[in-house]
Chain A
Amino acid sequence: QQQVKQSPQSLIVQKGGISIINCAYENTAFDYFPWYQQFPGKGPALLIAIRPDVSEKKEGRFTISFNKSAKQFSLHIMDSQPGDSATYFCAASWGRREQNFVFGPGTRLSVLP
């Protein structure tokens, strides 16, 4: 119930292409869905987040698409750049309890020049 599934585990995209990472959840109580970006040797950093009252949120080249009925959400990176190469974690949470904040296992994205 508390798990967030994430796919693919790794992704290779050519420069200028679209990167798509998918996440799925079971717990319908989740009400906050952030994405974190982590570069090697660094801690994860909040990239973009969405709440279930909207179906899409866009910030620059990064877009979250949210499908409440399917309990799925995805990150789209348009015009992918080599500098986007990182590990991406989706997450889901509800309320303020730390146990209710769950991370997906991560996707390692490589953008080829």
Chain B
Amino acid sequence: NAGVTQTPKFQVLKTGQSMTLQCAQDMNHEYMSWYRQDPGMGLRLIHYSVGAGITDQGEVPNGYNVSRSTTEDFPLRLLSAAPSQTSVYFCASRSDYGYTFGSGTRLTVV
């Protein structure tokens, strides 16, 4: 089925470890974003991309890096994990009609 695919679904990291959350979409959308979801906070934008080779920061970018080498892929890198990064992460791609979200990655940093 067409959509946004995120891996892994669950991850536990130790403080200071690094990792990459993978995201791929097959809808040929130019716009892709990473959000984090925390209780009572809604969805907060981390980084976004308006096309291959173009990325920019969102509301809460600190501690995260992104790159967009192809239209399909938009990985999110945690450079040195901190407990404050414990959250559920959603990748999304956007058309003129709104977002299509992946199923999320639940990350716990201990």
Look across to chain A and name the residue whose beta carbon is closest to the beta carbon of B56.
A98
Q: Contact at B43–A44, with CB atoms within 8 Å?
A: yes
Residue numbers in A under 8 Å from B42 (CB-CB): 6, 89, 103-106
Is B92 among interface residues, defined by CB-CB distance under 8 A?
yes
Contacts of B97 in A (CB 8 A): 46, 49
Return B103 CB to nearest CB of chain A, in Å. 5
Give the contacts of A6-38 with B (CB-CB under 8 A). Answer: 6, 9, 34, 36
Asked whether A113 is an interface residue with its Cβ less than 8 Å from the other chain, the reply is no
| Other-chain contact of B102, A6, A43, A99 (Cβ < 8 Å) | A43
* CA distance in complex: A106, B58 (Å): 20
The verdict on A41 contacting chain B, using a C-beta distance below 8 Å, is yes
Residues of A within 8 A of B98 (CB): 34, 46, 49
Interface SS of chain A: mixed
Interface size class of B (residues with CB under 8 A): 20 to 34
Does A112 have its Cβ within 8 Å of any Cβ on chain B? Answer: no
A9 close to B103 (CB less than 8 A): no
Q: Is the CB of B90 within 8 A of A43?
A: yes
B109 within 8 A of A: no
Which residues of B have CB within 8 Å of A61?
none
In the complex, chain A residues whose CB is within 8 Å of the CB of B102: 43
Q: A28-70 vs B: 1/0 string, CB under 8 Å? A: 0000001010000111111001000000000000000000000
Residues in B lying within 8 Å of A, measured CB to CB: 4, 31, 33, 40-43, 45, 48, 50, 56, 58-59, 90, 92, 94, 97-104
- 8 A-B Cβ contacts within 8 A? A44-B43, A89-B43, A96-B31, A98-B58, A99-B58, A103-B43, A105-B40, A106-B42
